[in-house]
Amino acid sequence: MNLEIWKHIEFAYPVFFWLLLFIPAMIWWQFSAGRKFQGSIQVSSLQGLKGLPVSWKVRFRPLLLVLRVLAFAALVTALARPQTSNTSENIDSEGIDIVLSIDISGSMLAEDLQPNRMEAAKKTAMDFVDSRISDRIGLVIFSGESFTQCPITMDHAVLKQQLMTIRSGMLQDGTAIGMGLATAVDRLHSSKVKSKIIVLLTDGVNNTGLVDPLTALEIAKAYKIKVYTVGVGTIGKAPSPATMPDGSVQMQMVDVQIDEPLMKKIASETGGRYFRATDNTSLKNIYGEIDKLERTKVEITSYKRYKEYFFPLAMIALACLLLEVVLRYTLFKRLP
């Protein structure tokens, strides 16, 4: 047997090793109690026998005990059932297809979140992607129009790269919530998975776009797509950069206006929830809450296969026992 295998050996019934405690008793019986059964003669003196050589049979007779002990030890080890195991896992993942629809209008540069709403939204979205290792995720951006920045994919590294590149000004300015929702639905409608969700994030009120938000809502309901809506912005006024006529940029306090009734309607009618993020911490907590609400079902079935190694040990025990019997009644045979 390959000695390397023994590094990975386990024993099914290690309790049998307690039988090895009988080995000292076997040795004691051989050298002590066993003498009672040996024949003897009485002589007047041993003086004449001192110079006689010791027979090789006498010298090697303890070999019989060694063979018996080896046979017993091998048999005990075989009874303990040495074996190696090979474990394999079958992972059955019932994934969720997700589209992140993110507002990139100019108002997302407001600094009520740090460093601004846009960067805070990107950071929390990337953390969310990292937590959804078995889901396909896509990215839609919108302002005055909408665009699929990344189709739904399992390649989260590519998705995060696309998230990092988004910035305000990539699309015509405005807030087309209906377009953002409709494009996200279009990414998901042909998906075959059971759970399809959209996370729609905006900081404003719908004021443009070819698709009305309520029309997009009906389409989402028709395809049984759940929508979680997130309104981003503090309560009251927020510092927002404004470009002056001379080209300089100044911070101005601007009213925060989010169409919360619309956001709540979209969420409730599709089975989702509406959240309001007023700072970085609350935005992070919102994505954490969505992550908990939409857990991916993963079933892991473990298979363990055993390979037994008791047979070689049983053969060793049998060989030692047979050799001992043969030697005892041939070379080391005693006269009656």
- In our burial notation (b when 16+ CB lie closer than 10 A, e otherwise), range 32-53 reads eeeeeeeeeeeeeeeeeeeeee
Residue pLDDT, tens place only, 234-287:
999 999 998 888 878 888 999 999 999 999 999 999 999 999 999 999 999 999
pTM: 0.64
pLDDT of residue 317: 87
Greatest alpha-carbon pair distance for the chain in Å reads: 136
Q: What is the mean pLDDT of residues 151-171?
A: 94
Name every residue whose Cβ is closer than 8 Å to that of residue 228 and which is 6 or more positions away in sequence.
197, 198, 199, 200, 267, 272, 273, 274, 275, 290, 293
On the question of pLDDT at 52 being above 60, the answer is no
pLDDT band, very low/low/confident/very high, at 330 (cuts 50, 70, 90)? confident
On the question of pLDDT at 138 being above 60, the answer is yes
**Cβ-contact 155, 240 below 8 angstroms:** no
Question: Residues of the chain with pLDDT > 90: what percent?
Answer: 51
